[in-house]
Amino acid sequence: MAFGAATAPFAQTETRPNVRDGANAIVPLRARPIEKLTINPGFRDWGPATLTETTLFAGNATNKGGLFAIDLASGRLKWSARPAGTRSGAPFVATAPAVFGEAVIAPMGNTLVALSAATGKELWRGPNTELGAAAAAGGGLAFVLGEDGFFRALDAATGRERWKVEFAQFKACKSRPVVRNGVVYVSRGVRIAEATPNAPARHMRYLVALDASTGQERWRYAHAPTRISTGACLGQPIVTADTLFGFDDDESTLYAINLANGRDRWPPLVVQRSVEGRQRPIAVGGLVDAGPVLIGVSKTVLIAFDKATGRTAWEIPGQYSDTAPSTAVAGRVLYFQGHPGAAPAAEVQDRIVYVGGKPVTPAPVLPGGRLNALDLETRALLWSFSRPTAEPNWNFGHVAPVDGGLWVDSYQALVKLQ
């Protein structure tokens, strides 16, 4: 079965694969998979994983927390670590760990902790971190936003602070720094007017490029938002050779920003689709780099955006989850969760919907926990996979492709499909 008619020509461009989504050189899993390995350390929820050549690092995002190292070949648990005394008590790990040299670095229970990649032994401990902040590493440094509002660079080997820059704290914007070629790209808050007796302080959110070695700001992306007055917060960042792509959930807007000067590659695009007969801005989750296109998921449609223009290249209606998209790319295959081709479910079930003055029976919500593979050249569905879970139809979580297979978390399990 093939889906989606092209609505705009593809722009063939060379891109640097996004490390989070899997390099294009990875051999994709094209045949219907089997569950080759299953790891269950005794908790339900995994956070996103980071893979090296031999090891998968991921944490427990809820409950007791902890960080775990899994041997990629055997599925054997190499080590587990649950440091005591973190800011939140339980050392939960809800973001992908950063790996640099011999260190695995992650906010654990809202405290930055570095562990030995070989043994899991604690190497050093950094500042308390902002809720939802992720760590990044590159050039011998680790970067993270602190609970005190300072964005810091720390020596990745020792944890010694190299520099810090104060970010204004206001209006939740999860810090997701990306390091490329000596530059850190991160969304930040900036105070643009001090408080007066008659008015509170005013703030804006910006994407900034900081010199990784000094913290000096190289440029500040200052696009005026169209629907809110506090600026853009670019989540789901994808960095290619010359562009940063990101989606702002508050604005339902897709951005493409020139890395050299911080200017728009094309005008910011408010993503709208018909929802129960009305055009509305929609949330898009799971944004991944798929060569000439970016692909993201809303509740009712899987969308491919032309990277050269921002226009829709093709789309596949269906039932999906923008909060549990399970998207990743390997070669020219897209992995994702949902029911492509299904009639979109009504926002509110058991409600009569009228179209053209006539009642229409809404489509039911289909069960979760269905992982798919799509050929990006033909848009043919290659396979779909589900597994029994103690809590029925539990959604899959984060997908990490490997040659000829993938790792994905499920209910109380991290599994390898092959």
**pLDDT for 1-32, tens place per residue?**
766 644 333 222 222 333 333 346 899 999 99
* Least confident piece of the model among 8-22, 70-84, 85-99, 254-268: 8-22
**pLDDT for 288-323, tens place per residue?**
999 999 999 999 999 999 999 999 999 999 999 999
Confidence of residue 189 (pLDDT cuts 50, 70, 90): confident
Q: Judge whether 225 and 244 are in contact, CB under 8 Å.
A: no
How much is the pTM?
A: 0.90
Q: How many CA atoms lie within 13 A of 88 on its CB side?
A: 23
Quote the mean pLDDT of the chain: 90
**pLDDT for 203-213, tens place per residue?**
888 999 999 99
Confidence of residue 362 (pLDDT cuts 50, 70, 90): confident
- What SS3 state is found at 166? strand
Amino acid at position 180, single letter: R
- The predicted structure's pLDDT at residue 351: 67
Q: How many CA atoms lie within 13 A of 305 on its CB side?
A: 27
Beta bridge partners of 38: 415
Q: Position of tokens 């070695």?
A: 213
**pLDDT for 164-175, tens place per residue?**
999 987 666 888
- The predicted structure's pLDDT at residue 26: 95
Phi (first) and psi of residue 334, to 5 degrees: -105, 130
Closest CA to 367 of 401, 335, 342: 342
**pLDDT for 243-291, tens place per residue?**
999 999 888 999 999 999 999 999 999 999 988 778 999 999 999 999 9
Closest CA to 175 of 299, 183, 336, 184: 184
* Distance from C-alpha of 394 to C-alpha of 203, rounded to nearest angstrom: 40
Residue 380 neighbours by CB distance under 10 Å? 12
Beta bridge partners of 143: 136, 153
